[in-house]
């Protein structure tokens, strides 16, 4: 089972936005601070492969603070195998990112059939588009260099929405989330046509999702790897307020679908 890649892929679902959209937006984005739950299921599996089924849930919380964002995720997933076994995995992740996108703190834990992997640390860049560094305390003490222009999860999501609103079709970037104690990744996004609210289908869940968005496909590669094949890919419906009602994570042998089940707003803080 892919541990760090799964945790990284889950971060794509973070419904984050904190700045103005480019060109097509007439006003600043109204933040979708909220709690949500997702149902996990098998979307597809390779013929004759090891994995035959997926079940599980993911809960997440996005909460605005006076200086940034706090995001929490709790995922429980069980993957059935062709041998009749079930691989169980749990993921917990909490991150804080400053409103200016220059500071990031994170702590995560992934458990697979009793084996635990922790990640903890913080990262900084001195100014936008500058190089920076991430300092890990778990799973080992180390410092990782961040190339110039590296984006943290919140800023990356905002940037993707900006690119989509501007009519861009491709949006490559370097991103860092700290999952699994690993370094930055190259993320190549391919942006589809705009999706109007009535075209969302079964994923519509009220006012927070009753907005326009875009279908996106993102491919993730290790930053220092020359391999042509991504570690994993993600298909997502990205709403213009940052909410992601549905996404599918594609691994080499199987794909996991995550469908929004419930969503409720969280009141903004008094700063």
Alpha helix positions (H), the chain: 4-11, 153-165
pLDDT at 16 over 50: no
Query: How many CA atoms lie less than 13 Å away from 84 in the CB half-sphere?
Result: 0
Residue spans of the domains in the chain: they are 4-265
Rounded Cα–Cα distance for residues 31 and 29 (Å): 6
Within a 10 A sphere around the Cβ of 114, how many other Cβ atoms? 6
- Model confidence pLDDT, tens digit, residues 160-196: 988 998 899 999 999 999 887 888 999 999 999 999 8
Burial of residue 129 (CB within 10 Å: 0-12, 13-18, 19+) is exposed
Rounded Cα–Cα distance for residues 173 and 150 (Å): 7
SS3 call for 229: coil
- Model confidence pLDDT, tens digit, residues 229-249: 898 999 999 888 888 888 999
Q: Which residue has the higher pLDDT, 49 or 107?
A: 107
Average pLDDT over residues 52-71: 90
Rounded Cα–Cα distance for residues 78 and 53 (Å): 8
């Amino acid at each position: 089972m892919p541990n760090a890649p799964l945790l990284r892929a889950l971060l794509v679902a973070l419904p984050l936005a904190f700045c103005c959209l480019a060109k097509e937006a007439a006003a600043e984005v109204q933040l979708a601070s909220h709690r949500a739950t997702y149902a996990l299921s098998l979307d597809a599996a390779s013929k004759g492969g090891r994995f035959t089924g997926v079940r599980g849930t993911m809960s997440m919380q996005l909460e605005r603070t006076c200086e940034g964002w706090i995001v929490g995720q709790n995922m429980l997933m069980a993957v059935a195998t062709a041998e009749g076994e079930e691989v169980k995995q749990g993921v917990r992740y909490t991150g804080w990112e400053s409103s200016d996108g220059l500071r990031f703190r994170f702590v995560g834990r992934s458990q697979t059939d009793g084996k635990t992997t922790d990640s903890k640390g913080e990262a900084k860049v001195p100014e936008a588009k500058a190089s920076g560094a991430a300092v890990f305390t778990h799973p080992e003490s180390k410092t990782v260099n961040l190339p110039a222009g590296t984006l943290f999860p919140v800023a990356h999501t905002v940037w993707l929405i900006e690119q989509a609103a501007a009519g861009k079709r491709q949006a490559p970037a370097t991103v860092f989330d700290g999952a699994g104690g690993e370094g930055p990744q190259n993320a190549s996004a391919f942006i589809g046509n705009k999706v109007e609210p009535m075209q969302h289908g079964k994923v519509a869940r009220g006012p927070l999702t009753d907005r326009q968005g875009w279908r996106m496909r993102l491919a993730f590669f290790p930053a220092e790897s020359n391999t042509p094949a991504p570690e994993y890919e993600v298909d997502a419906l990205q709403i213009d307020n940052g909410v992601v009602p549905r996404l599918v994570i594609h691994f080499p042998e199987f794909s996991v679908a995550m469908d929004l089940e419930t969503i409720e707003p969280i009141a903004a803080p008094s700063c």
